[in-house]
Structure formats: C-alpha cells, structure tokens
Amino acid sequence: MGTPEIDPEFRSEVARLVEAELRYHKRLNWTLAAWFITGVVVAAGTWFIQKPMDRDSIMFSGVCGVGLATFFFGSMFTRLLLRRPDTRCPRCGYDWRLSQDGILTWEHCPGCGLKMSDDTGCHEQP
C-alpha cells in the first residue's frame, strides 16, 4: 500500500491552514506579552502614585492584585477578539487540534491519511 499523494488543491489549503495557525500563535504570544507589560506598568504606576508613607506590605499585595487583574482581564479580552483559526482537514473534516501532536510535525492527516508534506516541507509557497 502506497501513501496517498499530495493533491495540489489540498496542498495549498493545508499550507494556508498551517500558516494561519502559526500567525495565530505568534499574534497571541505578542498580545499576551503586551498585556503582561501593561499589568506591570499599571502596578508600578499605582505603587508610585501613593505617598511613600502609605506603601506597606498590604499596599504591595493590592498593587500586585491590580497588575494581575489587568493581565487576566486583558488576556480574556484578547481571547474574545482573537479567534483561533479553523484547523480542519480539507478532505475529511478532522479537527487537527484534537491530536496531541503538533500540526507542524505531521506528514499525514490522522483522520484520512492526506499527505500534508513532502521532503521539502509543507511551508513552501504553492
């Protein structure tokens, strides 16, 4: 039994899906890093706005809570706005996110056996 060959129609679709997944993760990582920095800036700003005589361990805990809340709610807001791309096989409809392995390391679709890459890799432009 030979392995299924790459259909040019599916090759471009698979390359587009993989590229969309890579862009999503890159954008998500950058926005989460930006929210983390925003939380640190909000916490530091809140700390230094207070009078020096008011700064104690309770104030420090409150400031850390404000910074973490900024990061948490910003992250949730980002998840609402930044939707994950649909990563379903164009042939069989198998959702590639259900598998434990990463989509970038696959040679074949786990659902239908569609060959996703060749020796040169699936990241080349069709």
Q: Is the per-residue pLDDT at 16 higher than 70?
A: yes
Give the other-Cβ count within 10 Å of 70's Cβ.
19
**23: burial class by Cβ within 10 Å (0-12, 13-18, 19+)?**
exposed
Alpha-carbon span 43 to 37, nearest angstrom: 10
For the stretch 61-108, pLDDT in tens is 999 999 999 999 999 999 999 888 887 777 777 777 766 566 666 677
pTM above 0.95, yes or no: no
